[in-house]
Structure 1
Amino acid sequence: MSKYVKISCMSPPIKEVDTGQGLEGVVLQMIAKWEEHLQHVLPEQPDLIVLPECCDDPTFKGMGTEWLYEYYRYRGNRLLDYFASVAKTHRCYIAYSAMVEMEDGTFRNATLFIDRSGEVCGIYHKNHITIRQKSTSDTLYGKEAHVIQTDFGRVACLICFDINFDELLQQYVEQKPELIVFSSAYHGGLMQAYWAYTCRAHFAGAIWRPETCTLVNPVGEIVGESTLFYPFVTRTINMDSVVVHYDYNWEKLELMKRKYGSKVLISDPTRLNAFLISSETEEFTIQDIVKEFDLELLDDYWIRCRDDRNKEGHLEP
């Protein structure tokens, strides 16, 4: 498993379509849109491409919900098949977010995770759709959230409104994802860093323009962001990393840097008193470093703090 993962997040404008060509014409226009926009990131040879929520939604003046769901039914798996062919050709994963019709005729707001062979290796159904979406459509709330295993690590998916719900966050915390993939129609603000830090995971967000796509590290630092002129961003992240606290680790980290120098990296976001440390060499993993210097991981430190508080005689009467 490679420790370095190159991730591209995209936020092109929603496609205005010509409905005079019928539903078939609209589907072809959506495929043509993504053929054009993917050329911005495919030359980078990413390991993963993250697309925004409902990435193949068209728009036109006066478009209503009834027409949109008619489009979904007609479109079927056409865009999924297109993205699967791209993933297979370019040997990358693609997080494809779209409205999906189920066998009973209801819909789910979903992320379909496509692997390097063009196969769907995981599916996430948005657990927290909005009241408005539920009241105006046959879309149902998802009820499960499982990490997806990839060749670069464990991935948790969430979609837009999901980012506001702590119960979903806690489900993922227990599963220890290494990367959070966020397909969305809005940015989420401080919640992006909150999710990344709470899960001790990297965070990749693809959000519709005019918002920005972001890549955030496990201590809440933005390591990549799209811009107005470049509505896409590609960065390489190091998955071979852990989060540790300042307490009881500071002297050990000093010894670590003196011995290994640039072979280990310490990312200090300041004000947090927690650091992200990563191995920048093939000579050893970060777990080797943790063992060699007896570093205490952040979550283990929190457990020890709680245990100390609960010891006899430590809590005020």
Structure 2
Amino acid sequence: MERRKFIRNSALGLGAGVSLTSATMSSKRLNEEFEVGKLPREVWIATLTLTKIDAVNHQEMIEKVLGHMEDIVNYKPDIICLPEVFPFFHISEKISIKDVAEKPLGKITRRLAEFAKKHRTYIICPLYTVEDGKYYNAAVVIDRAGKVLGEYRKIYTTEGEMGKGVSPGPLDPPVFKTDFGTIGVQICFDLEWNDGWDKLKEKGADIVFFCSAYSGGKAVNTRAWQNKFCVVSSTISGTAKICDITGEEVAKTGRWERYWAIAPINLEKAFLHTWPFCQRFKEINAKYGRKVKITNFDEEEWSIIESLSPDVKVADILKEFGMKTHEEYIKCATDMQKKLRG
């Protein structure tokens, strides 16, 4: 295979651990095999970077992004995340926010909703929205049926945005219930404040999608392990990535994955403080064997208990062996400290 072809094919998702080069396996058969082995809380996530994608106007940008989305439908993504106000970056035309902002479903969200319905996927669609004469930098969440689940409005807008008429959103970010778990959204400058992330944690978010103009770097990984939820970044420029609850990068864009990061995340897992619960790990291994995976982080003293079997729930394991999640363990210690201080 010539180098150019190899690079093009590689760019469609080797980070997900799946090769697209097999000429003997049809797309239909490939998808069927993926579904057969899929765990109950396994979520296939796709996220885009707009790096090297340019257009004359926002209509052309939307068409180009939809074209790139078509490139990854064979993975049958459960959810696709797009970058911050993606139709209006990397374009030649001058736009007025008042002219392009919409109330969903509008022209832009309707196109993405049609895609969501056709391919049975959720979509995080960032754009400008309007309500009662106020304009927002927002992300509209669209479900598998092409219906709008709701809208997140960027809490911490920049001075430049506010100078152009963009209003900051409410301080209390919403969460959205999906068929695989609870999700939330943060946008770009929100990375610099803790409270939006903290509130999403309190509301039980399993995954938070970070739609941004820039990559965010290690701060994105940190938000994941600090809050014990997955964080998925989608960027206008730079790296887009998928981080597990430990902050580890499961997949990211780069030289060989130019536009997309695509990977599965298993949400059936718990984050523990290793001591004292490590004393029960041998018993868990003896009973469940390869149905349960325990991963230890020696320096941090974190442990992750993960179910690899449809018939094993992590909550049941914790109850059976008298173990607490990291949050529960810290809360119990904090409550006892308060009590003893009087």
Q: Same fold (TM over 0.5)?
A: yes
Q: Deviations over 1:127-176 (max 9, x none)?
A: 011112112x1110001311111111111110111111112222222212
Q: Alignment partner for residue 277 of structure 2, among 237, 240, 249?
A: 249
Q: Alignment partner for residue 284 of structure 1, among 299, 312, 326?
A: 312
Query: What's the counterpart of residue 178 of structure 2?
Result: 150
Q: Is the 8 A contact 2:291 2:308 kept in 1?
A: yes
**Counterpart AA for 1:252:** R
CA drift at 1:16: 3.5
In 2, distance between residues paired with 1:59 and 1:250?
Answer: 51
Query: What's the counterpart of residue 7 of structure 2?
Result: none
CA drift at 1:239: 1.0
Query: What's the counterpart of residue 132 of structure 1?
Result: 160
Cα gap change, 1:17 to 1:246, in 2 (>3 Å): closer
1:119 aligns with 2:147: yes
Query: What's the counterpart of residue 53 of structure 1?
Result: 84
In 2, distance between residues paired with 1:267 and 1:97?
Answer: 35
1:78 aligns with 2:116: no
**Counterpart AA for 1:242:** A
**Which moves more between the two structures, 143-152 or 45-54?**
143-152
Q: Deviations over 1:181-239 (max 9, x none)?
A: 11111122222222212322111111123x11111111211111111342211111111
Cα gap change, 1:161 to 1:14, in 2 (>3 Å): farther
Cα gap change, 1:100 to 1:178, in 2 (>3 Å): same
Query: What's the counterpart of residue 184 of structure 1?
Result: 212
In 2, distance between residues paired with 1:180 and 1:75?
Answer: 23
Q: Is the 8 A contact 1:27 1:75 kept in 2?
A: no
SS state at 1:289 partner: helix
In 2, distance between residues paired with 1:35 and 1:265?
Answer: 37
RMSD: 2.2
CA drift at 1:247: 1.2
Residue pairs, 1:125-274, within 5 angstroms: 125-135=153-163, 137-143=164-170, 144-209=172-237, 211-230=238-257, 231-274=259-302
SS state at 1:268 partner: strand
In 1, distance between residues paired with 2:255 and 2:246?
Answer: 26
Q: Alignment partner for residue 33 of structure 1, among 64, 82, 85?
A: 64
Q: Is the 8 A contact 1:265 1:277 kept in 2?
A: yes
SS state at 1:215 partner: strand
Q: Is the 8 A contact 1:15 1:58 kept in 2?
A: no
Structure 2 unpaired stretches of 5+: 1-38
SS state at 1:88 partner: helix
In 1, distance between residues paired with 2:52 and 2:160?
Answer: 20
In 1, distance between residues paired with 2:297 and 2:82?
Answer: 28
In 1, distance between residues paired with 2:96 and 2:54?
Answer: 13
In 2, distance between residues paired with 1:43 and 1:175?
Answer: 33
1:12 aligns with 2:43: no
Q: What TM-score comes out, normalization by structure 1 length?
A: 0.88
**Counterpart AA for 2:60:** Q
Cα gap change, 1:248 to 1:74, in 2 (>3 Å): closer
In 2, distance between residues paired with 1:150 and 1:74?
Answer: 24
**Counterpart AA for 1:219:** T
**Which moves more between the two structures, 52-61 or 215-224?**
52-61
Q: Percentage identity across aligned positions?
A: 24
